[in-house]
A and B are shown apart, each in its own frame.
Chain A
Amino acid sequence: MLSKKTSNTIAGIAFLSPNILGFLAFTTIPLIFSMILAFSNWDLTLHNMFHDDTIQFVGLKNFIQLFRERDFWKFLGNTLFLMMGAPFAIAGSLIAAILLNKDLKGKKSGIFRIILPGAILFVSCVMLTLVGMGAAALTIVIVGAVGMTLISGILFGQTVYRTLFYLPNFTSGVAVYILWKKLYSPQTGPVNAILEKPVAAVGNIVNATPSWVISAGEWLFLIIGLFILMKVLKSLFNHWKDGDLGTCGLGLSLVFAMMPFFFAILWAPSAAAKFAVPAIATAILVFHLARSLRTRDFPCTTWHGVGTGFMISMISLVPMFMLIGFAAAIANLPVLSADGLQPPEWLSNYDWAKPAIMIMGLWGAIGSNNMLLYLAGLSNVPPELEEAADIDGASPFQKFWNVTWPQLAPITFFIVVMSVIGGLQGGFEMARTMTQGGPWGSTTTLSYFIYNEGFATGRLGYSSAISWVLFIMVFSITMINWKFGSKYVND
């Protein structure tokens, strides 16, 4: 006779066994196997049940080959570029959650004054589409649908919005990608139908604008970028002086923080900007070095605070890169507008394909689980804290910044970690469905690269090595996040 404890243990294991067996068979064993494979020359064309060749250990050969491969760096760049959308996606889901946390239900009186014209508008739009008004009608339908949504929200409150916002999360990925492909259709898609006139107007304005104004616009963005750099460097050196950041941590952070301005050499369209921007950035660095290195109030160990420095510099990279990108776009405007400015060709254009995918990702992310997490977080913010802030006379922004935002820190931290992991691993379905990784590899991400390497050539060892490099990247960033990000959460 088994004791109660033993029988409970057996029952527990029996309940867990399907999951444990599945996890072992489909996760743990393949994981270990792929790690071994990464150091082997396993090639399906050489090593399979029909060949006698034995798989050989090749040490780091696969990794060395990978780092020498031009495509790897290009696809890594694509992956990181697409990840620049993550902060905006997080901000978007937060805004969505804040909006959905408000009770927007309207008063019943006057409902029919809103719903009746709304319904008529919607039905008219559908009829226009049916009789073949094409893109214009589709645009009206979208506007009509948005109108109806607003009206439904007034009628039925947050539930309608919450359901609608969460739609992207439970809609089939491939169906959504095909839908977006249609939305992005350059000549007949609703996106360009909406953009066509405003873009043409911008083109006319650009053509009528003296070239020095355009240059000023370009420089304005560059100067804002340089200003951010100045602030970041100041913060880094202050941390160093206060003993929060060691010398090695400072050096590493400076390299990261300066990076966008050396990319400007490649991106900046005007020769002046190409050289002046890195020169000014270097001058700012030299100025800070000269000012700060003379004295140090609180020395610390060399590697102390490396994560803090890393976090500061990495966070600053996104706006700095974007500002340099905007500056390049403005400088290119006169050339693009010479024959009339056209809306982008989105997925079929090398330069626009990645932003197009980022925008789609942003749409998906706003209505994702992140939004749900933020919603849950917002409902857990103690009302007495908000009341106290109200009594102290805090403005809505002050209330958000000093009460709500700190309360959401653990959730934000979790979302950041998951977004980084998802961002590095993602992009496969989108690339395969929408662009096949093109044009000219501009939307090929590391996950798509792994698939192609594994199945186009049969080099499974090499493919596993890429997967493990990706894993190391994900793991390192997560560790940094965990070690240093959690500090801000707990503070």
Chain B
Amino acid sequence: MKYIFVAILFVLIIATIGTVMVNKQTSSGKPVIYWVTDNNPARALQINTFQSWMKKKGYPDCELRLDTANRDVSKQVIQSVSGVGGDVMDCWSGGGDIMYFAEMGIMEDVTEDAKRLGFDPSKTFPSLEDDLKVGGKQYIFPCNVGASMYFVNCDAFKKFGLTPPPMTWDIAEFERRGKEFVEAANKGLERRQYFMAENIDMISTMRSYGNDVFNETLTRSRMTGEGNDGYMKALILNKKWIEVDHIIPSAAEVQSFSTDSGYGGATFQLFFKGNFAMVSTGRYALIQFRQFGKMDLDAVQYPNGGYPNTIIATRAALVYKGGKHKDLSKYFLAYLASEDYNMNIVNDGDSLPPNPEFTKTEEYLHPKDYPNEWKVHKKFAQDAVDISIVLTKSPFVANKRVYGYMDDARQAVLSNKQTPEESVAYCETRINEEIDRNLLEKPKLKPEYDRQVELQKKIDEYRKTGKKIPKDWISNPYHKKYYKDMGWLE
């Protein structure tokens, strides 16, 4: 037995030496930057463009390698706090990852480098500024930008003798057109197979009524009480449109479609087939739509309860604070602001380019191989500038929790376990309890929290008396824009 043991040991040693030698052969000898990102075929071109851009700019020689196995947030967190994170990491601004990473201190502050190398917030969509910065410091720069709208499959409407919806519409018109569509499309069918929209965006619908999940200073959730019933209205509409009007499908109806593969799951394929006449998504969906074939596409805003708006978010890149090549990694962020990279994004349709200037190019507006998309591009760029707002993130609570609780409220209403009133009140209570718990566990937050609470009192007082409010009192990005558009700011 011991001879077998020794033989196995010997084989393992040989294998180890072999592995090391093979790795040596593949190493270029240059410093290597690892980019933790998703497994997207476009990344190969982006890497090549980066190498040539570095050369063109005369920046130091280095090698950029992909790490597509560690994009999961929990992996990123564990690796980063253990000192072995990727040099450059993708993160999604929508769900609060940036705030979470910033709290952990794993992101390198790039404020000064951004100014020096030309990737400060002025080089991207202004509405994204609240996502790029935490506590006044810049940590990230967008790889691409997503402002959500409804993509419209115009053929799906025309097939049933209906006209596609207008760019801006209110709740009543959405409902009227929705009923018309599902009645015409499902006539004579044994089970409903056609829906006007795949879903509604709950946050945008809430915001269209002039409300947000947090108050102006992000110190409290404010979803109940007079004038704060936006989310409740969204819940009621969602339930009605699923269960009574059948404008949008229930979870069971979605599960019943047999197609369920590819990026975006079944949704995009069902949109192409016309089962969903509209899907709520960003411009990145074009990557997949182009693979399906030609369809007459348009884009329209979400229906609104008085205040048209949409959510803007970004897949951004950050520089890992514990990385070995932080200076080289910062060049990568500068590359994201370059023309070379932006034109890559413009051409492959992977959402909006980081720099809005490139949305004015002919290649962006009228890609010659895809005339069926021409109605879409300008609208996405325009909405990203005019009506988009980032998701609100409070520094006093884990934001994943907040949006999880909001989704729980939606599910509770759809499951008939709570009324919309009960679910919203419960959601608000849970968020506020979580804030209180966080303040107890992180006493460092308390002084800033108290300062913001004092400001909130002033804001409430001013609002009661109808006085205009100084802009810098408000930290909530939604309220900043809403107050400005309503003329309530000083």
Contact = CB atoms under 8 A, between A and B. Distances in A.
A49 B322 contact: yes
Interface in A440-478: 440-442, 455-459
Contacts of A184: 255
Interface in A19-51: 41, 43-46, 48-51
Contacts of A459: 441
Given A48-B105, A49-B322, A348-B250, A456 B257 contact: no
B83 interface: yes
Interface string B57-92: 000000000000000011001000111000000000
B91 to A, nearest CB: 14
Contacts of B257: 188
Interface string A338-355: 000000011111110000
Nearest to A342: B252
A11 interface: yes
Interface stretch (B22-30, B363-371, B407-415, B460-468): B407-415
A347 B255 contact: yes
A46 B442 contact: yes
Nearest to B82: A49
Interface string B104-121: 111000000000000000
A45 B103 contact: yes
B401 A349 contact: no
Contacts of B252: 186-187, 345-346, 348-349
Interface residues of B, number: 40
A364 B77 CA distance: 34
Contacts of B106: 48, 50
Most buried by B among A14, A185, A347: A185
A50 B74 CA distance: 17
A195 to B, nearest CB: 14
Interface in A29-86: 41, 43-46, 48-51, 65
A406 interface: no
Nearest to A455: B74
A457 B105 contact: no
B256 A185 contact: yes
Nearest to B9: A14
Contacts of A185: 255-256, 258
A439 B411 contact: yes
Contacts of A46: 442
Given A186-B256, A349-B252, A48 B104 contact: yes
B294 interface: no
Interface residues of A, number: 39
B411 A440 contact: yes
Interface in B234-286: 250-253, 255-258, 260
A181 interface: yes
Interface in A173-208: 181-182, 184-189
B99 to A, nearest CB: 10
A361 interface: no
Nearest to B410: A440
A440 B442 contact: no
Contact of B77 (A41, A345, A441, A455): A455
Contacts of B415: 349-351, 439-440, 442
B256 A187 contact: yes
B2 A439 contact: no
Interface string A398-414: 00000000000000000
B441 A44 contact: no
Nearest to B438: A457
Interface string A208-249: 000000000000000000000000000000000000000000
B322 to A, nearest CB: 7
A197 B447 CA distance: 65
A181 B255 contact: yes
B411 A438 contact: yes
Contact of B255 (A15, A348, A441, A455): A348
Interface string B320-342: 01100000000000000000000
A51 B255 contact: no
Contact of B408 (A188, A189, A440, A458): A440
A14 to B, nearest CB: 7
A186 B258 CA distance: 11
A428 to B, nearest CB: 13
Contact of B81 (A15, A48, A440): A48
B256 A188 contact: yes
B417 interface: yes
B412 A440 contact: yes
Nearest to A436: B407
Nearest to B414: A439
Interface string A346-389: 11111100000000000000000000000000000000000000
A49 B73 contact: no
A455 B79 CA distance: 13
Nearest to A347: B255
Contacts of B191: 187
Contacts of A134: 258
A455 B73 contact: yes
Contacts of B414: 439
B31 interface: no
Contact of A50 (B5, B100, B105, B442): B105
In the A-B complex, the 5 residue pairs with the smallest Cβ-Cβ separation, listed nearest first, are A187-B256, A50-B105, A350-B415, A348-B251, A186-B252
12 contacts: A45-B100, A48-B104, A50-B321, A185-B258, A187-B255, A188-B256, A345-B251, A345-B252, A439-B414, A441-B408, A455-B74, A456-B398
Given A185-B258, A351-B415, A458-B103, 10 more contacts: A43-B442, A65-B437, A182-B258, A186-B255, A187-B255, A350-B417, A439-B415, A440-B408, A440-B411, A440-B412
